[in-house]
Amino acid sequence: MSKMPVLFIGHGSPMNTLEQNDFTDAWKAFGHHLPRPRALLVVSAHWYFGATAVTAMAQPRTIHDFYGFPQALFDFEYPAPGDSDLAREITELVKPNWVGLDRDQWGLDHGTWSVLTHLYPDADIPVLQLSINALKPLDYHLELAASLHALRERGVMIVASGNVVHNLQKIQWRQRDFAYDWAKRFDDAVVQQLAQQPEDILRICDHPDYDLAVPTPDHFIPLLYVAGLAAADGTKPEALVRGYSMGSISMTCYGLGAGLHLRENASCAARLPEHIPPDQTNI
């Protein structure tokens, strides 16, 4: 079996669940053109607490972890099954690191289902979530990611859901496509770092715009899982989608082993970077 692709999705507002825009069109294209996985393991920015755990229930609940949005968003359900056998497989795979089995506490939060409803709208692929351990240093997440690389050869697609730039205090709610200069600089620097040396992604923490772009680490850490998997594979992630939302949120998406699949079909909605030859950019 060939390796499953890895994705980092800049998920933005929960309203992307219900809306159609350039970003959701790209996510739909990913799901349509990438190989169908046996299961999905999602690292979401929104399960950020003091332990490392993986969901292990047969039917994870849809968690509405937000407030102030339309009722239609609270009514939304993503009834994907879980996979307790895969959860146990993951706990063995990452040893000596410890990962707890969560059988009844969490489920699928909006960092997961707001994206998967576009990637796999039928909700018929088993989905597990891996928590982000808030008590661990950043390099822990790179190491844990590397230990998950064997899952790619077992039919599991790993999806990291967060935002490279995520500063809620600086949001400009009425400027949907606006980006601050500092947000662009930092986002560009991450693109360059991942394209050259993903194993050294933590160098980006010394960037002069890091504190503005990453005031809290929860949305940034999912990116480290893509970097760690790239380092384990000896390959480099590719920026698949670039864009910004409301000034201080980056919607950039990355793929590891995804670009070639997307280029096979000229109807793919995701626009790849400028260095792709002109006859292959409209995908």
- Find the domain containing 48 and state its range: 6-280
Q: Could you report the per-residue pLDDT of 171-211, keeping only the tens digit for each?
A: 998 888 899 999 999 999 999 999 999 999 999 999 999 99
Q: Could you report the per-residue pLDDT of 218-239, keeping only the tens digit for each?
A: 999 999 999 999 999 999 999 9
Does residue 234 sit within a domain? yes
Kindly report the CATH number assigned to the domain that includes residue 58.
3.40.830.10
Peptide bond into 96 cis (omega under 30): yes
pLDDT given for residue 269 in this prediction:
43
Calpha distance 116→114 (Å, rounded): 6
Mean pLDDT of 10-36: 91
Q: Could you report the per-residue pLDDT of 42-84, keeping only the tens digit for each?
A: 999 999 999 999 999 999 999 998 878 889 989 999 999 999 9
Does residue 275 sit within a domain? yes
pLDDT given for residue 131 in this prediction:
98
In the predicted model, is pLDDT for residue 268 greater than 70? no
Does residue 1 sit within a domain? no
Does residue 255 sit within a domain? yes
Q: Please state the domain count of the chain.
A: 1
In the predicted model, is pLDDT for residue 265 greater than 70? no
pLDDT given for residue 71 in this prediction:
93
Tell me which of 26-35, 75-84, 144-153, 268-277 is least confident: 268-277
DSSP string, 149-181: GGGGGGTEEEEEEE-SSB-GGG--TT-TT-B-H
Does residue 214 sit within a domain? yes
Does residue 68 sit within a domain? yes
In the predicted model, is pLDDT for residue 278 greater than 50? no
Record the pTM: 0.92
Residues near 102 by beta carbon (within 8 Å), at least 6 away in sequence: 53, 54, 55, 56, 57, 131
Nearest partner of 246 among 191, 169, 192, 162, judged by Cα: 169
Mean pLDDT of 259-273: 56
pLDDT given for residue 49 in this prediction:
96
Does residue 222 sit within a domain? yes
Neighbours of 138 (CB within 10 A): 13
Q: Could you report the per-residue pLDDT of 98-134, keeping only the tens digit for each?
A: 999 999 999 999 999 999 999 999 999 999 999 999 9
pLDDT given for residue 274 in this prediction:
41
Does residue 147 sit within a domain? yes
The separation between the first and the last C-alpha atoms of the chain, rounded to the nearest angstrom, is 25
* Helix, strand, or coil (residue 87): helix
Residues near 227 by beta carbon (within 8 Å), at least 6 away in sequence: 142, 145, 194, 198, 199, 201, 237
Nearest partner of 48 among 219, 249, 254, judged by Cα: 219
pLDDT given for residue 125 in this prediction:
98
